[in-house]
Amino acid sequence: MIELHSMKVLGEMKAAGSFVASTLTALKEHAAVGVDLLELNAMAHNLIRERGATSCYLDYAPSFGSGPFGHVLCTSVNDAVLHGLPHPYRLRDGDLLTLDFAASVDGWVADSAISFVVGTARPEDLELIELTERALEKAISVAVVGNKIGDISYAIGSVAREAGLKVNMEFGGHGVGRTMHGDPFVANDGRPGRGFPLKPGLVIAIEPWFMRGTDKLKKAPDGWTLLSANGSRTAHSEHTIAITEDGPLVLTQRGN
């Protein structure tokens, strides 16, 4: 079911968005060569406790995973792009790291993801990250009353196609509210003018994620982490936004 929220509720959801944004900022600042992925997960867990928030991941057990996720943060490194299960791994110089974090504050959820390079960056990695960020910005710009979900999907896909990238359609954005994953599904490519109409009070996570040379995924032995099928590096950018009469409201906007 697709839910539309009042302006009062959107105001309440800002608390979750602000917490998710500040947590990702803190985690990015802490990530460095030699830092273990489990250390980042523990840091996120501590921030959740301090805020009195609730993790959306800890006991999450959807059909596409292997049992409860068991952690509060997705940590995807290099060729891992989605649902990266934290494990004992110390970050190395040049690693491309994606952090995906969702939490509930006072019953309302926000979801966001960032990709960045730890240490010395390869130009091609920075370009891939920038493409996901550009796709996200373009998608947000068309997330206005009167447009449709297909306009958002088309905006993302157009950035990918212009860069010669293929787009995977299995995983994408989604409705956000009391739960992390709701309707509508927001594919990372589509036809403009199609799909659910964007109405005031609709809250969605928009999340372009790109790989080079393939649109296929493979699952890691941990049963959760999704990898590019060809071993290429990946990037992922995500914000939770609300549709309002005054334009899109980015609930997970970060300060930097």
How far is Cα 205 from Cα 218, in angstroms, rounded to an integer? Answer: 23
Residue 13 burial by Cβ neighbours in a 10 Å radius (0-12, 13-18, 19+): buried
What is the Cα–Cα distance from 244 to 7, expressed in whole angstroms?
Answer: 8
Q: 87: annotated binding-site residue?
A: no
CA 158 to CA 131: how far, in whole Å? 11
Q: What is the 3-state secondary structure (H, E, C) of 78-145?
A: CCEEECCCCCCCECCCCCEEEEEEEEEECCEEEEEEEEEECCCCCHHHHHHHHHHHHHHHHHHHCCCE
Sign of the torsion formed by the C-alpha atoms of 23, 29, 33 and 39:
negative
Give the angle subtended at the CA of 86 by the CAs of 85 and 87, to the nearest 5°.
110
8-state DSSP, 3: -
Q: How many whole angstroms separate alpha carbon 66 and alpha carbon 153?
A: 28
Q: Does the annotation list 236 as a binding residue?
A: no
Residue of 12, 24, 188 whose CA lies nearest to 104:
12
Does 100 appear as a known binding residue? yes
Of 67, 86, 66, nearest to 75 (Cα)? 86
Give binding residues as ranges: 83, 100, 111, 174, 181, 207, 238
Give binding residues for substrate as ranges: 83, 181
Give binding residues for a divalent metal cation as ranges: 100, 111, 174, 207, 238
